[in-house]
Amino acid sequence: MDLKGRDFLKLLDFTPEEITYMLDLAADLKEKKKKGILTEWHKGKNVALIFEKTSTRTRCAFEVAAHDLGMGTTYLDPSGSQIGKKESIADTARVLGGMFEGIEYRGFGQDIVDELAGYAPVPVWNGLTNEFHPTQMLADLLTIREHFGRLEGIKLTYMGDARYNMGNSLMVACAKMGMHFAACTSKKYFPDSSLVEECGKIAAQTGASILLTEDVEEGTRDADVVYTDVWVSMGEPDEVWEERIRELSPYQVNAAAMANAKPEAVFMHCLPAFHDLKTKIGKEIKEKFGIGEMEVTDEVFESEASIVFEEAENRMHTIKAVMAATLGVPKERE
Ligand code: CP
Ligand code: NVA
């Protein structure tokens, strides 16, 4: 398997075998890290980390992973670059391509990261767009595989805004890996029909299935994984909060939803999560709308079933695998 020189823009671009290869590489890198074995395979190289939206996990994962691979990093914050304001994506790609061996981009439309990749002579990694969050997918798949020992046949139920980056990406990931995906939400929040159709075709080949349902009982029944994400994503206007709370509250992950899943079901969330009043936005929402928990209750978030912090740690190991694979894995390791 050779992924050297490839971009990592969305999971749709990769075969199940290539995805499995990256997961295996991540598992190997994780084991090496735990044992204190150095993996400075890319000493002397540098990567640019562009964030047009804020981040805790993705930024830290890229920085730590790059350092572990022996590389230097330059972080461009949401306001600290000329991108899109004074300089086009095409020009930025060629400027950075002359200084760095790889470029991470977090921002708005998928078309932006696609254009960046089209012009940059080095691998480009998607650190989240409105449409897709592919590095999160590798972390989620690794976490599920570690927990259940397999991916094939696992039922993953996604509750909440399934038409945005997380819902789209999880549907693709499940279709690719032979898993059963259920979007359990109000019709308005179902993933885009053309993507559903594309995933349906993939599912027909991998043994996966896709279910879109407004019925919580049907959606969560026998789920192995119950997954959710914030109801309002980065870049969306504050005005949508009221509508989202009204429309998505029935799809909150709470004890009843978990009780309807398999007894051994786990709870997952890409994070950050609104499950208590320990955040500024959480407090503001409580004052305005009177609710203290949103997409997940504190009870579920803090329960034994919750594997969100294992999932968050795996962001680092899987992002390291993406960079290592696309920059080239040394022969002696293979
Ligand atoms: N899950 C995730 O992407 O987190 P950050 O926004 O903190 O990077
Ligand atoms: N849907 C969320 C994911 C955050 C990791 C957002 O785009 O803000």
Q: What's the pLDDT tens digit per position in 141-154?
A: 999 999 999 999 99
Which residue's CA is minimally distant from atom 1 of ligand 2? 233
The question of whether 24 is a catalytic residue gets the answer no
Using the CB atoms, write b or e for 47-80: b if 16+ within 10 Å.
Answer: bbbbbbbebebbbebbbbbbebbebebebbeeee
Candidates 152, 153, 181; CA nearest to 169 is 181
Under DSSP, the state recorded for 324 is H
The structural architecture, per CATH, of the domain 11-133+315-327 is 3-Layer(aba) Sandwich (3.40)
CA 54 to ligand 1 centroid distance, Å: 8
pTM > 0.85: yes or no: yes
Across residues 300-328, what is the average pLDDT?
98
pLDDT (0 to 100) of residue 218: 98
Instruction: Assign domain 155-223+225-260+266-304 to a CATH class.
Output: alpha beta
Residues 175-185: tens digit of each pLDDT: 999 999 999 99
Pocket lining for ligand 1, CB < 6 angstroms = 55-58, 128, 136, 270-271
Please confirm, yes or no, whether 110 is among the known catalytic residues: no
Ligand 1 atom closest to Cα of residue 60:
8
Is the distance from the beta carbon of residue 166 to the nearest atom of ligand 2 less than 6 Å? Answer: yes
| Closest residue by Cα to residue 4 from 134, 141, 102 | 102
Q: Which ligand is closest to the CA of 58, given by its number?
A: 1
pLDDT given at position 334: 55
**Residues paired with residue 83 on neighbouring β-strands, in sequence order:** 87
**Pocket of ligand 2, candidates 164, 227, 236: which has the most ligand atoms within 8 Å of its Cβ, to mutate?**
164
CA of 311 relative to ligand 1 center, distance in Å: 11
6 C-alpha vs ligand 2 centroid, how far in Å? 25
* Exposure b/e, 206-235, CB count within 10 A at least 16 = b: eebbbebbbebeebbbebbbbbbbbbbbbe
Q: 194 C-alpha to center of ligand 1: Å?
A: 26
Strand, coil or helix: what is 131? coil
The Cβ of residue 99 has, within 10 Å, a number of other Cβ atoms equal to 11
Domain with CATH 3.40.50.1370 in the chain: 11-133+315-327, 155-223+225-260+266-304
Task: Label residue 82 by pLDDT band (50, 70, 90).
Answer: confident
Over residues 200-223, the pLDDT tens digits come to 999 999 999 999 999 999 999 999
**Which residues have C-beta within 8 Å of that of residue 10, sequence separation ≥ 6?**
110, 126, 131, 132, 134, 169, 172
Instruction: With CA atoms as reference, report the closest residue to 211 among 182, 168, 172.
Output: 182
Predicted confidence at residue 116, as pLDDT, reads 97
Q: Which of 174, 270, 275, 317 is catalytic?
A: 270
